[in-house]
Structure 1
Amino acid sequence: MVMLKSMEENYPLIDSNFLEFCGSRGIFTVEDFLIYDLNSLISFTEKKPNTERLKQGIEQVLSIVDSLHRPWLNGVELHKDAQKSKQTFLAYEGIDPFLHGVLREGFVTELVGPSSSGKTQVCLQAAATVAKEYASGVVFLDSGNSFSAPRIAHLVNQASFSTSKQANNEALHIVMKNIWCYPVFDIFSLFNVLHQLESKLKSEMCSVRLLIVDSFSSLIIPLLGGGGPYGHAQMISAGNLLKKIAHEYSICVLVTNHMVAGEGGSAKPALGESWKSVPHVRFLLSRDRETNTCTISVVRHPSMAAGNQAKFKICDS
């Protein structure tokens, strides 16, 4: 964790008065700062005699966070990282031969698509597959009450080749036991769960192979409306934390992002230009409601050409 005090020498606005003010609110690190409700923090500055300087200090910390990027890596380091035994996982049976594994260990994969395009269905299928086929832990962060145990059960039963009801029940029990679902309805609860997960992974208290955030964009969009640096800094910080967890613990991370109206009425990903460089992999989903056929297109992938497409059908239970 980066201590705010470590910035004091290089940034004059982050002085002893600013550090004392933050400390009085329990804020000592950059992480503390980002998960704190900054609207409340700004309102607290109004009660201080040096209000404007404290506000400038808050803006400076946000600017510092916004400017942070992952350090450059040379070719040798990148090659070593690529050579690590990072596996790919099946996300949906109908598209896996095309995608060679939607999910890759150490990568953040983004599914972008309009409402009802199949994003949540792919997330549920991914959770069921990893929990069953790999007997591995799945963390499902649910921001819109999208997680459905009956739909998971339906997917597991569909994939089962056993005619024994007992065997099917045992398979379903394994899947449900390996999936942990957490409701997250704002960015603060997201950071809280991610930090708790990181702590457990570091101390080897749990084993997780897949982390899903459905929907990541719905947590961020409310913060971007003001036009200030606060929402953007929170978005980039959350994205970098997801990448850090994916990389350091060889976890597959899957996030969903919805579409909004752009110029001329055309649809575009909700999180904008600054976000699109964060995920390692991006797929675009669309769905024909009449035939219930989904189309998945490659927007960015380390080993596939952009524009490649595949079609598959989903079955809602």
Structure 2
Amino acid sequence: MAPLKYLEQEYPILDSNFQNFCATHGIFSEQQSTSERLKQGITQVLSIIDGQHQPWLNGMELLEDAQLNKHVLSTGCEGIDLLLEGGLRMGQLTELVGASSSGKTQVCLLATSNVAKKHMGGVVYLDTGNSFSPQRVIDFIRQNSDPAIDQAKHRILQKVMNRILCHSVFDIFTMFDVLHQLEVNLRSQMQKGDCQVRLLIVDSISSLVTPILGGGGSQGHALMASAGFLLKKLAHEHNLVVLVTNHTVGGEGGISKPALGESWKSIPHVRLRLSHDQGSSIYNVSVFKHPSMVSGKAARFTIYD
């Protein structure tokens, strides 16, 4: 019952007794509960599930939602920003797909440095493979520094780095715990009028999801869908950019394709494919999927060591 544990703090009635009951019975059923508290817990779970569904929206509401508060955040990479007409769109889930050494983590670190430098709200970075490099972030900040930063280097660097919160996350249940705690914090910040997070990164989502997809059961795919829904919900409700990375696997004819399969590909709003010209600092990015762009649109960019 690990997925229920993160709810206990927000909904105390979903305590260990309720979780054990669900684990032993396998289903939620008021007829099988012998405790009034268990019945209340089941009702609470059903209301939580019901609240997960997005309301129906008509065309005008969707247009207004797309136009209001859905600005872009620059990645700090000129090629990607030009391709995306300004950068990563707030309120959306963007996925970077690529093989090893294609530049996925480098783009994440570059975006982290750029957003943390320019926005008070800062960045939450979920690191699933010990790939977060604070020194690399500092290097990016210094590469793009202006005279004001050069004159007050230490103070500026300290302020920027303090806006970055990094979590080491090595399984999907820990990710759920972190994301739900983030959701609670964002709601609190919204009520207080505090500066909110502007960028949430999961590098990489595939390393968390792939281990649970084995076997013939449906639980892994259900957890994957829940993770995708939660990431999109955070992006939409709190108007932040969610950026995730995904590796590639072998496909038909030896052509690589994004991992996680058909069930995942409909979840991101935007999918970008990255590749790297070996032996150079030149990277390539192309549009796999975009709500307002044709697939195949491409650009080149440079990331210096």
Range class of TM-score, shorter chain: 0.7 to 0.9
Answer yes or no: is 1:29 the counterpart of 2:29: no
Per the alignment, residue 310 of structure 1 pairs with 299
Deviation at 1:30, TM superposition (A): 7.1
Cα contact 2:92–2:241 (8 A) shared by 1:
yes
Alignment match, 2:130: 145
Assess if the C-alpha contact under 8 Å between 2:94 and 2:244 holds in 1.
yes
CA RMSD of aligned residues (A): 3.1
Cα distance change of structure 1 residues 265 and 141 upon mapping to structure 2, 3 Å threshold: same
Residue 91 (structure 2) aligns with: 106
Q: Matched residue of 1:198: which SS?
A: helix
Task: State the one-letter code of the partner of 1:168.
Answer: K
Instruction: Classify the secondary structure of the residue corresponding to 2:101.
Output: coil
**CA displacement at 1:72 relative to structure 2:** 4.3
Q: Which one of the candidate residues 226, 229, 232 is aligned to 2:221?
A: 232
The structural deviation recorded for 1:166 is 4.6
Alpha-carbon contact 2:126-2:169 (below 8 Å) kept: yes
> Does the 8 A contact of 2:73 with 2:115 survive in 1?
yes
Give the equivalent residue in structure 1 for 2:270: 281
- The aligned amino acid for 1:94 is E
2:256 matches 1:267: yes
| Equivalent in the alignment of 1:38 | none
Task: Name the aligned partner's letter for residue 139 of structure 2.
Answer: H
1:199-244 CA-to-partner distances (Å, cap 9, x unmatched) read: 0111117620110000011000000011311110000001000111
1:112-144 superposed Cα distances (whole Å, 9 cap, x missing partner): 011110000000111111110223311000001
Aligned match for 2:60, one of 76, 83, 86: 76
Q: How does 1:290-309 map to 2 (within 5 A)?
A: 290-309=279-298
Separation in structure 1 between the aligned mates of residue 213 and residue 250 of structure 2, nearest angstrom: 15
Aligned partner (choices 12, 15, 27) of residue 29 of structure 2: 15
TM-score by length of structure 2 reads 0.81
Equivalent-residue separation in structure 1 for 2:76 and 2:34 (angstroms): 52
**2:4 maps to what in 1?**
none
1:86 paired to 2:70: yes
Contact in 2 for aligned 1:156/1:171 (Cα 8 Å): no
Partner-residue secondary structure (3-state), 1:29 = helix
After superposition, where does 1:203-242 map in structure 2 within 5 Å? 203-204=188-189, 207-242=196-231
Q: Which moved more, 1:284-293 or 1:141-150?
A: 284-293
**Aligned CA distance change for structure 1 residues 31 and 101 (closer, same or farther; 3 Å):** farther
Q: Deviations over 1:161-185 (max 9, x none)?
A: 2287552222211210100000110
CA contact (8 A) 1:162 1:168 kept: no
Alpha-carbon separation, structure 1, partners of 2:47 and 2:53: 16
Change (3 A) 1:80 1:311: same
**AA in 1 matched with 2:69:** S
Instruction: Give the residue type in structure 2 aligned to 1:276.
Output: K
Give me the whole-angstrom Cα distance separating, in 2, the residues matched to 1:175 and 1:234.
Answer: 34
Note the residue ranges of structure 1 that are not aligned, 5 or more in a row.
6-12, 34-63
Shift of 1:79: 1.2
- Where 2:273 maps in the other structure, the secondary structure is strand
Give the SS at the match of 1:171. helix
What is the Cα deviation at residue 99 of structure 1?
A: 2.0
Structure 1 residue aligned with 2:82: 97
Unaligned runs of 5+ in 2: 1-6, 19-26
* Other structure's SS at 1:296 match: strand
Distance (whole Å) between structure 1 residues aligned to residue 33 and residue 197 of structure 2: 37
Instruction: Report matched runs for 1:161-240 at 5 Å.
Output: 161-162=146-147, 165-204=150-189, 207-240=196-229
